[in-house]
Amino acid sequence: MSKEYRIELPDEDSMVAFGYKIAQAAENGGVVFLLGDLGMGKTTLSRGVIRGAGHQGSVKSPTYTLVEPYEINGKHIYHFDLYRLSDPEELEYLGIRDYFDENALCLVEWPDRGRGMLPKADLVLQIELLGYGRQLSWTPQTELGQIMADKLID
């Protein structure tokens, strides 16, 4: 499961639009790790995923709360931002294991900060600067991740 896929996204609107595609590809849930430096668009991409799944309200960054839960059409999406996490053990107090059920979609920004406490990702997304836009690459880590990855290239 080491094939890597890439796409160039020239602006914020294209990042949000690609988030909609991810929402469709992840309709059966999964764990998606979002990698990239500060300001690369991880939260923007997550907003696209959450809106693409059908959420009508605002999408807040979970920078201070660590997790923002969404229930959309009977499905759960959990948006994690672990940037401010000082120790992965803190995730135990958050009840981290309860969020990762087989039907939920979990979007995790800064997953390296939760190393050892998070399950394996189905799909890893890397966002990098490319001129004024972004290059987004994704790599499946599981069979479910491969299904999701294949849907993203359609």
pLDDT tens, 109-125?
A: 999 999 999 999 999 99
Q: Name residue 107's beta-bridge partners.
A: 32, 79
33 has a pLDDT exceeding 60: yes
Residues 59, 61, 65, 70: is their CA dihedral positive or negative?
A: positive
Residue 44's CB: how many other CB atoms inside 10 A?
A: 20
Question: E strand or H helix at 44, and its extent?
Answer: helix 42-52
**Which residue type, as a one-letter code, is found at position 138?**
W
Residue the block writes with tokens 């839960």:
69
Mean pLDDT of 97-103: 88
Distance CA(29)–CA(92), nearest Å, equals: 22
pLDDT of residue 48: 95
Confidence of residue 154 (pLDDT cuts 50, 70, 90): low
Q: Is there a contact between 47 and 22 (Cβ–Cβ < 8 Å)?
A: no
Burial of 101 (0-12, 13-18, 19+ CB in 10 A): exposed
Residue 147's CB: how many other CB atoms inside 10 A?
A: 16
Residues 6+ apart with CB under 8 A from 55: 70, 72, 77
Residue the block writes with tokens 């880590």:
141
Distance CA(117)–CA(43), nearest Å, equals: 22
pLDDT of residue 2: 63
**Which residue type, as a one-letter code, is found at position 122?**
D
64 has a pLDDT exceeding 80: no
- Angle, in degrees to the nearest 10, between helices 143-152 and 12-25: 130
